[in-house]
Chains A and B, each alone.
Chain A
């Protein structure tokens, strides 16, 4: 009831300059809907295509149930349709292996990065260091400058290094390099987070006899938890989507989902439905993350950039 009252009230105040207001807001909504269409159509297209058969693809049918009858064909080829879900399927086993690899690699790397990144960020936010000529600002810059490093520069040395350490094609190897990749971003986000927490809280804890680490673990960490979650989610997204290192450093055992998707696209045929099914399965976790955890993603992205 309150909402209706409010809107009618607002309309009343704008009634006097109705024509201009109407065209303006019409334009705004038109633009919004247009861009929402651009953003969502490829996702919609991929999901629906996974339920199409050859005829539906070639004739360009777009709307399920109206244009074409949905079919489980794409999902059957993945072994994930209702009638094949219980039957043994090598494709499905393969897919699930890649999926689990992706989960382990991205979650492991994000966890490690948040762990050591938060510690470093806290140190840089609270204490002043002096290491040779490097003060806090230089150490921060040292970490952030890793962002500039393009993956190609590290790729070949890592290939050789991993070969000698027997880390090639292992999840540990992937986790290590992904940690390196997201560490600067985590430090960036967490330093911003710690800067907003008043120092007085820890000082009180120190007076009460806590050690520095005790104050950090008991007082600061719980407050900084939302920031850590944001950093973790952002890292997971980045690692989940990573393709370059995964393509170079894994071959059979530790292959991740993007590499599998990429290897399937190579075979240009008409079996769009199975490609669409794989693509849908690969993007679905992130679409869900985007819908339900949008708040944290925005928080992570905007940390430190807007003062």
Chain B
């Protein structure tokens, strides 16, 4: 706790001190940048075999980058004073994200245009647009993309159920805390564990309780993963089980934030439960609903874990998501170049799709208001 008052410094003297600090800051930044470039050049030379320093890995470059990042932060404070101190708040996160995202994306773009199979003897080889051509002819990729459309549409069903549950929890009930925790629990569980718990044991053909129940209900042959639509629905059900709580919690928070006077007024006016929901609650909940659905769609586009572990895309690619398809391309076929091209192509589609949704949503909200 140093609440010492800084001694009054005459303006001229202060400016000189400031300028000296700024000069030192610039020197520091320059030195760090030179260090970073020198390490980079040495590493490249070493990797291409021009010099033999015997560097085992590219780790020195990583350390040089860290040193440079720290120097950048310090020099900001020295050069720009208070503005620099402010900049240091965001700089670590920015430097981290840039290092972790920009390089892999750019490098990924390069890999995407190469023919590179880890199990093949030949190394990386540039092959231009061949991967793209293969992609357009790849029936299984387009099939996976079509499946993604179904999976994204299933978010709407999840939304309806989640809204219902949120309304239930918002009603005047006893033991609300218990029900809220119980409803939330599926969200905590790892998709991998869920794959086994539900996909591989509860829905197991011979002894699973779900199969037994189905037999009791008159379904002779409850094989949940046999036909394409059945398998897809089963995967959707599992995914819904895990992710409905997420939507439910957000919708419940939205319901609780609604001004209670409005509902009171509706009750006084004699509106029935359904009427007051349709005319008042639902329209007021639209902004929250929008946020929830868009968030869920973004997460749904990454759906992979459950599919990988339960069906591995089967039967015949009926349950494949794009992510699980690429995952198998990497791991089973070691087809790095082509897999990366698929991923980058998918990323472009996602960006366009999400941008359209966001745009549509914001325009629609404006019209509503």
State the A residues within 8 Å of B (CB): 25, 28-29, 31-32, 35-36, 38-43, 45-46, 49, 57-58, 60, 62, 116-117, 119-120, 122-124, 127, 129, 139, 142-143, 146-161, 164-166, 176-177, 179-180, 183, 187, 208-213, 216, 237, 240-241, 243-244, 247-248, 257-259, 261-262, 265, 268, 272, 275-276, 279, 282-283, 286-287, 289-291, 294, 297-298, 301-302, 305-307
Q: Is B111 an interface residue (CB 8 A)?
A: yes
CB distance from B235 to the nearest CB of A (A): 15
B45 within 8 A of A: no
**Interface size, chain B (Cβ < 8 Å):** 100
- B344 CB → nearest A CB, Å: 7
Could you tell me if B330 and A156 are in contact, using CB atoms closer than 8 angstroms? yes
Q: How far is the CA of A301 from the CA of B252 in the complex (A)?
A: 11
Chain A residues closer than 8 Å to B322, beta-carbon distance: 150, 152
CB distance from A224 to the nearest CB of B (A): 13
What's the minimum C-beta distance from B163 to chain A, rounded to whole angstroms?
A: 13
Q: Which residues of A contact B350 (CB under 8 A)?
A: 148, 150
Please tell me which one of the listed residues A209, A248, A265 contacts residue B195 in the complex, with CB atoms under 8 A apart: A265
User: In this complex, which of A41, A211, A268, A306 has the most chain B Cβ atoms within 10 angstroms of its Cβ?
Assistant: A306
The 4 residue pairs across chains A and B that have the minimum distance between CB atoms: A123-B89, A157-B104, A241-B190, A120-B93
Which of A127, A156, A248, A283 is most buried by chain B, counting CB atoms within 10 A of its CB?
Answer: A156
Q: In chain A, what residue has the closest Cβ to B208? A: A60
Q: Does B130 contact A (CB under 8 A)?
A: no
Bound form: Cα–Cα A158–B305 in Å = 19
| Interface residue B356 (Cβ < 8 Å from any Cβ of A) | no
Find chain B residues with CB under 8 A from A286 CB. Answer: 188-190
- B100 near A177: Cβ-Cβ < 8 Å: yes
B305 / chain A contacts, CB cutoff of 8 Å: 243-244, 258
A124→B86 CA distance, assembly (Å):
10
Which of B86, B169, B288 interacts with A127 by CB under 8 Å?
B86
Q: Is the interface of B mostly helix, strand, loop or mixed?
A: helix
A-B contact pairs, 5 of them (CB 8 A): A28-B171, A36-B182, A38-B241, A149-B101, A279-B193
Known: A164-B58, A243-B190. A212 touches B86 (CB 8 A): yes
Chain A nearest Cβ from B273, distance in angstroms: 8
Q: Which residues of A contact B181 (CB under 8 A)?
A: 290-291, 294
Whether A294 contacts B323 by the Cβ 8 Å rule is no
**Alpha-carbon distance A161/B339, docked complex (angstroms):** 16
Closest Cβ–Cβ distance, residue A253 to chain B (whole Å): 16
Q: Which of B205-259 contact A (CB under 8 A)?
A: 206-207, 209, 212, 241, 245-246, 249-250, 253-254, 257
Instruction: List, in ascending order, chain A residues with CB within 8 A of B12's CB.
Output: none
B184 within 8 A of A: yes
Please tell me which one of the listed residues B59, B92, B178, B191 contacts residue A120 in the complex, with CB atoms under 8 A apart: B92
Q: Taking each of B87, B89, B183, B187, which has the highest tally of chain A beta carbons within 10 Å of its own beta carbon?
A: B89
Q: Which applies to chain A's interface (DSSP): helix, strand, loop or mixed?
A: helix
Residue interface mask B338-353, A partner, CB < 8 A = 1: 0110111011001100
Name the B residues within 8 Å of A151 (CB-CB).
Answer: 302, 304, 323
Q: Which residues of A contact B6 (CB under 8 A)?
A: 209
Nearest CB in chain A: distance from B92 CB, A: 4
Contact: A152 with B185, CB < 8 Å?
Answer: no
Q: How far is the CA of A169 from the CA of B196 in the complex (A)?
A: 25
Cα-based distance from A302 to B165 in the complex (angstroms):
16
Counting chain B CB atoms within 10 Å of each CB, which of A160, A166, A187 scores highest? Answer: A160
Question: A240 vs B188: C-alpha distance in the bound complex, in angstroms?
Answer: 10
How many angstroms from the CA of A41 to the CA of B180 in the assembled complex? 15
B36 in the interface (beta carbon within 8 A): no
Q: Which residues of A contact B268 (CB under 8 A)?
A: none
Taking a contact as CB atoms under 8 Å apart, the answer to whether B192 and A261 are in contact is yes
**B354–A275 touching, CB < 8 Å:** no
Q: How far is the CB of B340 from chain A (nearest CB, A)?
A: 5
Q: Say whether A156 contacts B339, CB under 8 Å.
A: yes
Instruction: Determine whether B281 belongs to the interface, using a CB cutoff of 8 Å to chain A.
Output: no
Whether B119 sits at the interface, judged by CB under 8 Å, is: no
Q: Is the CB of A152 within 8 A of B56?
A: no
**How distant is the Cα of A40 from the Cα of B212 in the complex, in angstroms?**
18
Q: Given A154-B104, A258-B193, A287-B189, list of 13 further CB < 8 A pairs?
A: A31-B164, A39-B241, A57-B207, A122-B89, A157-B108, A157-B340, A166-B59, A213-B85, A247-B331, A261-B196, A283-B188, A306-B253, A306-B288
